[in-house]
Amino acid sequence: MQMIFQVPYTSLDPRLTIRQVLREPLRLHRIGGRDSLDTRLHALLDKVSLDPAVLDDLPSSLSGGQRQRVGIARAIACLPRFVVADEPVTALDMSVQAQILNLMRDLQEKLGLSYLFISHDVAVVAHLSDTIAVLSDGETVEHGETDAVLTQPAHPVAQALVRAARRRFKRS
């Protein structure tokens, strides 16, 4: 299991290069030898559509979308089966959100990942999810297939989330 955090800037050590950030989980889990690490890092960056030139950069020199891609690369470095994604696109603008969501969906299919995707935006959740659970005060108040929850939400909290998503897309 791994985690993708909401704000990649605060989840990446600002003193470490991207190379160091990505090597850390591999080193901790004893994945690969020194000779194969750079090959693994290049493959990771390729999976998240980042140029290997960023390996020697600090997180502060990257855009928000690039930092989130590094966070995703770090999360998939150890080949997890399950990834918790806590509001992973909230801090990004709409066009970058779409890119990251498409990347996550591609990785989900290619790597066989299961996500627990936490968000207040049901439209974003629907992009990746087969099922949705709506929580209120820590309790599950609605759970079902994505289409059913989006088209006929039963609980008032679910209804409010669906209405908010519809208003957002009417303005876009």
Report the share of the chain in percent with pLDDT over 90. 74
Which has the higher per-residue pLDDT, 34 or 97?
97
CATH architecture of 2-118: 3-Layer(aba) Sandwich (3.40)
Global pTM value? 0.90
Which long-range CB contacts under 8 A does 119-123 form with residues at least 24 apart? 119/87, 119/89, 119/90, 120/87, 120/161, 121/90, 121/161, 121/164, 121/165, 121/168, 122/149, 122/150, 122/158, 122/161, 122/162, 122/164, 122/165, 123/165, 123/168, 123/169
Q: Is the dihedral of CA 132, 68, 97, 75 positive or negative?
A: negative
Q: For helices 18-28 and 64-76, give the axis angle rounded to 10 degrees.
A: 20
Percent of the chain predicted with pLDDT > 70: 97
Query: Please, how many CA atoms are within 13 Å of residue 168, restricted to the half-sphere of its CB?
Result: 12
Q: According to the model, what pLDDT value does residue 31 have?
A: 82
How would residue 169 be classed by pLDDT, with cut points 50, 70 and 90?
Answer: low
pLDDT tens profile 114-133: 999 999 999 888 888 999 99
Task: Dump pLDDT digits (tens) for 52-89.
Answer: 999 999 999 999 999 999 999 999 999 999 999 999 99
Q: Which pLDDT score is estimated for 114?
A: 95
For the chain, what are the domain ranges?
2-118, 132-172
HEC-encoded secondary structure of 95-136: HHHHHHHHHHHHHHHHHCCEEEEECCCHHHHHHHCCEEEEEE
Task: Indicate the average pLDDT of the chain.
Answer: 92
